[in-house]
Structure 1
């Protein structure tokens, strides 16, 4: 979401009377690549770009392709194949060993359904999962749609633009499958008459929100790193103890008695870091009643176990289901010493939990880093 917001910000600053622009989107990856599907790059015809579709190796050619799409006012799908030993193939010799399809779409500023305008509606729909259907290729007669069109799917009625009940039904089935998996996918559909349609079904999940409950100095590096990663940061603390320097770093600040006012959903992580035993103990049962997928506690294991035991004695035993969401001590074992290193270990653990991964060394992983299509 951070990249999307940067693209929207750059798009809004374009002098639209003088400058053309196109959006490059990775819509299919086969094998290995630095960026995955959904990676985007905004390109203007004066050679400026924001975002990226690779580690920098394809951007040069992508700039030319985007400017050509702007000049022709026509979307195009380009395949970069780094698996072939072809000296004339862009990306050869990179060692990525993958095939990447990139859709280049010229942006018509007057069209409120152009890809960036659609992304704006997704960002405005705070904390919602958005489903985008991007048309990447058409073969045959398709009177109502064009390559590059982006549809923000809400119900099957969103697909009425295809004016074909069979196509709508097939797309609906594919979309439901991707919603269930929580993953994006490129799919192809064929009409009875032979016409072909290819679309990129993208599942845009809400950005992770990190709720930091405390006010001590170690909250600063954790808040800064969280923003650098592109997540939202909310601080919960005693208003009288909040340093004004945090105002420019966090997205929102609440007092402890306003905890129920925060929208804590399944994409929210919470870290108890008050450095006050009684405060963390009082807050733990409250945050366990929320939908947060991760609850971290700073401090040694003996401290958290003491809190668990005291709560049990007081009739507030924490069941296995609730305990599974608690990470105490918070963070991965990276040998962190300083507040900055501790922040790194906590961010890494939250990402590990959210991605349902193990957090182990990649050199010991025998399967591909990312799922292959």
Structure 2
């Protein structure tokens, strides 16, 4: 989402009366690639770009091809084959060993299906959305490069095969996985990329000591949201520059499925009260507690004394001590290990070393 936000912010500053622009989007990856499906790069005709479609090796060529799309006003597809031994092939010798399809779409600010404008409402949305990009089509009502956004069934409109498209959307949302889909019928044939875009992770951080600052700063760099629960009168004012919200420590804010809670008040009673509330009254997928395991065992004993027995599911949502086993010692390192653990939880991963992984890092897109 951070890349999408940066692209939107830059797009809104473009003076389209004097400047043209295009969007490069990775729509298919076969094999290995630095960036995956959904990676984007906004290009203006003066040579500036925001975002990226690779680790820097393909951007220059994509910039040239994007200018062609701007001049013709039509979307086009380019394939980069880094598995080819042809020395004239862009990307050869990089060692990626993948095939990447990139869609280059000129951006018309007056087009309601403009690829960037369709993304804009997603920035503040707290539920997964599906962005549908037309990859191949000869239909006037669905030109190549046009984008449609799905947020709810009631508000979704699609000019053809709506029922079939809806079925594909539900499958993608259920699997939490993007997919390429080709539909055929009386209208002919169209190919669509259905991209699942989740909202950014939102950290609820309970604490007001100096060790929360690197956590908030690193979350900001990741493009995550953060709300800090503390005494705003006693906190260093620099926190307001990094956190999205700083609120009184007893403020009640409802978390959602993309919220991660980190309890780091360094006060057993405060952390216990917050933990009890989150674990019993919410379905937050991650509740991390700073401190040794014995501290958490005291909380469990107190819950038992109050007649509260945690279920297996509740224990699975509890991470105490919070963080991956990285040998972290400083506040910055500890906070980094916590953020890494949160990322693994939301990615349904274990957080092991990649060199020991027996299967591909990324599942293959269709």
Cα displacement (A) at 1:278 = 1.0
Provide the rounded CA distance (Å) in 2 between the counterparts of 1:67 and 1:205. Answer: 31
Q: Which runs of 5+ in 1 are unaligned?
A: none
**Which among 322, 325, 331 is matched to residue 333 of structure 1?**
325
TM-score (norm 1): 0.94
TM-score between the two structures when normalised by the length of structure 2: 0.96
How many angstroms apart in 2 are the aligned matches of 1:338 and 1:157?
A: 49
Work out the CA distance in 2 between the residues paired with 1:109 and 1:92: 36
SS of match in other structure, 2:156: helix
* 1:201 Cα deviation after fit: 0.1
1:207-218 residue pairs with structure 2 within 5 A? 207-218=200-211
Kept after mapping to 2: 8 A contact 1:268/1:291: no
Equivalent of residue 179 in structure 2, options 159, 180, 185: 185
Corresponding residue for 2:40?
Answer: 40
2:145 is aligned to 148
Among candidates 282, 285, 291, match of residue 276 of structure 2:
285
Cα distance in structure 1, aligned partners of 2:126 and 2:165: 25
- 1:269 matched residue in structure 2: 260
Q: What CA deviation, in whole Å up to 9, does each residue of 1:311-346 have, x standing for no partner?
A: 211223322221110000000000000000001100
Report the number of matched residues. Answer: 363
* CA–CA separation in structure 1 for the residues paired with 2:254 and 2:116: 27
Q: How does 1:4-153 map to 2 (within 5 A)?
A: 4-124=4-124, 126-139=125-138, 142-153=139-150
Moved over 6 A (4+): none
Are the aligned partners of 2:204 and 2:260 in contact in 1 as well (CA < 8 Å)? yes
Asked whether 1:254 is paired with 2:251, we answer no
In the alignment, the residues of structure 1 paired with residue 182 and residue 80 of structure 2 have an alpha-carbon distance, to the nearest angstrom, of 19
Alignment of 1:175-254 (within 5 A): 175-192=169-186, 195-254=188-247
Residue 317 of structure 1 corresponds to 309
Check conservation: 1:77, 1:137, Cα contact below 8 A: no
Q: 1:143/1:106 Cα in 2 relative to 1: closer, same or farther (>3 Å)?
A: closer
How far is the alpha carbon of 1:112 from its aligned partner? 3.3
State the Cα RMSD in Å: 1.4
More helix by share: 1
Q: What SS is found at the alignment partner of 1:241? A: coil
Structure 2: distance between partners of 1:10 and 1:245:
26
Q: Is the 8 A contact 1:86 1:92 kept in 2?
A: yes
